[in-house]
Structure 1
Amino acid sequence: MEYRGHELSANVSMLFTELPYPERFAAAATAGFRVVESWWPFAVPDPSASEIDDFVRLVSASGVSLGALNFYGGDIAGGERGVASHPDRQEQLAANVSAMVGIAERTGCRLFNLLYGQLDDRWSPDEQAKTALDAIRSAAADVGAVGGTVLIEPLAEGLNGRYPLLTADDVLRVIAAVQDVDNLSMLFDTFHLGSNGVDLLATAASVPVAHIQLADSPGRGEPGSGSLPIAATLDALKATGYQGVAACEYKPTTDTLTSLAWLD
């Protein structure tokens, strides 16, 4: 499935939610997607070997490839947005990175989204920043051993607690601060950046990115449900030589299959 010259992938944490999670991979394949991605699919950072086996078999049996996967981000449903900057969560993250490398080796997934974490008054901003940089550097080294890239994502202000990365510049400063690492890149999410007033076309034309996710704003629905210049943004990325997939990570305003009418 393609749009404006970009292979599309389905984020099965956002699409096909009419179905139980294990059924969404096959549903994506039936709809025409050859690539899927997901948020961290387990309740804990370090799932058992049998749980990982089940997930790998699920991906394989569906006939799709796993293009990207989120690291464990804490209690996402409860409002957390990553643990990389939290000193008391580093053991969890280290265990998660180990599990992620194992999944990467078995699925061929090579893009891994690491949410930075929200500001927390239990620690100084400097301590949190240092913790995050150390965690990002370590994760990049580990997934780099299997050819992987760590993605750093800005999030929409006002919807994600005290998440400090709001713009491309915020992410680029973090990447620059993690020295001597060449497998870090920004995740370009049209909804998050567009909601924060970022110029999508200018950013697409000037900022190196390894992955893009598509959702409109306001509302985070499918492209065309809001006012963002998504088609033009994809064209701008293509002009830079971007060859990665474009992931559909939106909340359908109707059932998932009907929501794909924007591709017509």
Structure 2
Amino acid sequence: MTTPITLPLPATVNCSILFPGVPLLERPARAAAAGFDAVEFWWPFDRSVPDDREVEEFVTAVSDAGVVLSGLNFSGGDMPAGERGILSDPARSSEFADNVDVAVGIGARLGTVGFNALYGKRLPGVTAEAQDELAARNLALAGRAAAGIGAVALLEPISGVEGYPLLTAADAVAVLDRVGSPDVRLLLDVFHLGVNGDDPAVAIERFADRIGHVQVADAPGRGEPGTGDLPVAALLDQVAAAGYRGRIGLEYAPVTQDPFGWIASKESST
């Protein structure tokens, strides 16, 4: 590990990847016990429209922990089977709209300010143009819904998924330009960009005014900062200096005994 980093902005803990082995609904309390006041999740249900009981259990777990749900993914489809979003799938457009209603309803209760929409992989039998047009419409819908509670929809490039068309910050920003709405912004994840060969520092310099959320993990490996090669401290200082004032999402798979030992002080993270 390198010298601990003083975070220039408040943090939020991604409870879908941190605290492995802990039941999902117990993770917000673990984050609070570790000194954090906000969490974020990938879509925490096994279907796009869960039943009311599941929703209430999730809301209760977050609210009882005394933390804010700062970020929430829209449904990514069957993630264990390799799906990465339903945004651009013509067969699932109504499912996405229904999911937006559920997600924003949860967010309205728990203080969510960003909703991440995974784009979806290229589909056989559907042209890229048709997928892109649908994705733009669905992103606009998601942005309008998010804006209704003072939040934004987010779009991110990701790595390691064959057929996923958004690999660089420029790829995602081109989609944002197609949507043409300030309610849809870039999720800049330094890990995914680094793995894909897109220099995060250059992306921050070029697209600082488009960033709606920032997430960190080191690369390669997706461990906590200090376990790889990315200059995470410099990148965080750069994005703060460029005017970003949101939270820093801690979205990594811990590989050390203390997953938060890289942070110089808990006071700087809350």
The aligned residue for residue 90 of structure 1 is 93
The aligned residue for residue 268 of structure 2 is none
Question: Alpha-carbon deviations, 1:14-47, whole Å to 9, x = none?
Answer: 1111311111110110011111000001111111
Matched-pair contact (CA < 8 Å) for 1:201–1:233: yes
Of stretches 2-11 and 233-242 in structure 1, the one that deviates more from structure 2 is 2-11
Q: What is the distance in 2 between the residues matched to 1:259 and 1:143?
A: 31
The aligned residue for residue 62 of structure 2 is 59
Amino acid at match of 1:73: G
Q: What is the distance in 1 between the residues matched to 2:26 and 2:107?
A: 21
Matched-pair contact (CA < 8 Å) for 2:72–2:107: no
The aligned residue for residue 36 of structure 2 is 33
Identity of aligned residues (%): 41
Q: Which has the higher contact order (CA 8 A, sep 6+)?
A: 2
Amino acid at match of 2:259: S
Matched-pair contact (CA < 8 Å) for 1:215–1:248: yes
The aligned residue for residue 235 of structure 1 is 237
Q: What is the distance in 1 between the residues matched to 2:191 and 2:248?
A: 13
Runs of 4+ displaced beyond 4 Å: none
**Total equivalences in the alignment:** 258
Structure 1 pair 183/3, CA: closer, same or farther in 2 (3 Å)? Answer: farther
Question: What TM-score do you get using the length of structure 2 for normalisation?
Answer: 0.92
Unaligned runs of 5+ in 1: none
Q: What is the DSSP-based 3-state SS (H/G/I as helix, E as strand, rest coil) of the residue aligned with 2:70?
A: strand
Of stretches 206-215 and 2-11 in structure 1, the one that deviates more from structure 2 is 2-11
Q: What is the DSSP-based 3-state SS (H/G/I as helix, E as strand, rest coil) of the residue aligned with 1:205?
A: helix
The aligned residue for residue 109 of structure 1 is 112
Unaligned runs of 5+ in 2: 265-270
Deviation (angstroms), 1:198:
1.3
Q: What is the distance in 1 between the residues matched to 2:7 and 2:255?
A: 22
Matched-pair contact (CA < 8 Å) for 2:222–2:252: yes
The aligned residue for residue 250 of structure 1 is 252
2:122 matched to 1:119? yes
Question: Alpha-carbon deviations, 1:197-242, whole Å to 9, x = none?
Answer: 1121122233131111110111111101110111100010011111
Q: What is the DSSP-based 3-state SS (H/G/I as helix, E as strand, rest coil) of the residue aligned with 1:260?
A: coil
Deviation (angstroms), 1:4:
2.8
2:165 matched to 1:164? yes
Q: Choose from 5, 9, 17 the match for 1:6.
A: 9
Q: What is the distance in 2 between the residues matched to 1:125 and 1:206?
A: 26
Q: What is the distance in 2 between the residues matched to 1:216 and 1:101?
A: 30
Q: What is the DSSP-based 3-state SS (H/G/I as helix, E as strand, rest coil) of the residue aligned with 2:40?
A: strand
The aligned residue for residue 195 of structure 1 is 195
